[in-house]
Amino acid sequence: MLGGEQRFEEFAEVHMDEVAHIGDGPRTAVVIGAGVVGLSTAWFLQERGVEVTVVDRDDVATGASWGNAGWLSPGLAIPLNEPSVLRFGLRALLDPRAPLHVPATFDPGLWRFLLRFAKHCTWKSWEHAVSANLPLNTECLEAFDVLTANGVRAPTVEAPITAVFESAQHAAGLLHELRRLTGAGQAVDYTGISGTEVRAQLPQASGRIRAGVRLDGQRYVDPGAFVAALAESVRTRGGVIRKGFDVVELRPQRYAVTARSRSAETISASVAVLATGAWMGSLAKRWGVRVPVRAGRGYSFTVPTDEPIPGPVYLPDVRVACTPYRHGLRVAGTMEFRTPDAAPDNARIDAIIASARPFLDGVRWEERTDEWVGPRPVTHDGKPLIGAVRAPGVYVAGGHGMWGLTQGPITGRLLAEQITTGKRPEALREVDPLR
């Protein structure tokens, strides 16, 4: 850093306001990360007159934004730190087929993270996380509507999500969470239904299913196609997107921030936004972000079905999400805590199939394609990280866990407001990255 860490801290303390509010606000921005969060931030910055350059170490939607289930589901954006997750965590240490998988490995950072996560698996912490995410969930679908009405050429499909269970007793757990969610102020339209009703609505439902919960007012998208369309809209509006630009350093200066790549290329702009998902930790930590972000890796694949599936299906007991996808079914699941760039573990896909197969008929599991693994950025307290850090002109946006697609556009809209006005929206108060 310029002049050493202590000198920089003194510089930042004195000049942060001056740098952030030159004239009428920042005129240029470099956004690091071409996933849904980074591109949404870039798009909404353009709405406010800022010229943007988006850089990514790989390409558009090559992280968690491509292979996820594609749900736009504020009704199921439930924080991961629900108390029963501890039970799954203990199983994960003994059973590699468990939905939550923690490989036996020597990784002190991971074990510190998991201990902090375990301490937050209480109803009190869960309720705090619900409260922090509530403003994002309340406005998330409207933010998608703004994008699709103004040049992002990718449809969002409105459809209920049907959660299915082996018994009414199993369904009671999700119903309990949804009651708590509505009690915290989030509007969720849900109905308990019988196994007979499930099978009437869902031809793929097997005879093993005895109960269900239907959530209305939800949507889904083809996530890769949506993010690609978002990138194209950013380009059409004058933005630049550069792939293969792996940022290893951010250097705040008096009136600009310079991003330096691994190959020593540089890009400077009035402000920089770090939206690198599960890779955020090393750069963000340097600027005072003490909340760790770990990769909770999810797997997915596509399978053909004998009949079209009418809408998204959730298997809560095995933590598997299924979505209509290109005349077939995208199946996504598992939460695997490994480094974001670790090689795929084929045993995880086998475990997803073994757990989901008994619930669904007419699915040709052996003909699967598009096998994928992607790292979802998870925080220990269930709250994302959105806002300014301890460096003039530098912002972060990430840590959304499994709900980065759902919350990505509203995150971009709120952060663009903060960057251009210099005032933090009230909706971002509880997700302060310096908490």
pLDDT, tens digit (0-9, with 9 covering 90-100), for 342-364: 999 999 999 999 999 999 999 99
How many residues comprise the chain? 435
> For residue 290, how far is the Cα from the chain centroid?
19
Position 247, amino acid? V
Q: Is the pLDDT of residue 321 over 60?
A: yes
Between the alpha carbon of residue 161 and those of residues 65, 71, 182, 376, the distances in Å are 20, 9, 17, 21
Cα within 13 Å of Cα(84), Cβ side: 10
Q: Is the pLDDT of residue 104 over 80?
A: no
Q: What are the backbone angles phi and psi of residue 216, rounded to the nearest 5°?
A: -90, 170
Please name each of the domains of the chain with its CATH number. 4-63+225-292+382-431 (3.50.50.60), 76-121+154-218+293-379 (3.30.9.10)
Q: Is the pLDDT of residue 4 over 60?
A: no
Whether the CB-CB separation of 139 and 426 falls below 8 Å is answered with no
Give me the mean pLDDT over the 259-286 stretch: 95
Give the pLDDT band of residue 107 (cuts 50, 70, 90).
Answer: confident
Whether the CB-CB separation of 53 and 285 falls below 8 Å is answered with no
Give me the mean pLDDT over the 168-187 stretch: 93
Whether the CB-CB separation of 310 and 218 falls below 8 Å is answered with no
Q: Please give the Cα distance from 323 to 222 (Å, whole number).
A: 9
Between the alpha carbon of residue 316 and those of residues 196, 282, 355, the distances in Å are 19, 33, 11
Give me the mean pLDDT over the 416-427 stretch: 97
CA Rg value for the chain: 21
> For residue 14, how far is the Cα from the chain centroid?
34
Q: What is the pLDDT of residue 89?
A: 60
- Output the CA torsion sign for 147, 241, 62, 103: negative
> For residue 70, how far is the Cα from the chain centroid?
11
- pTM comes to 0.91
Position 382, amino acid? G
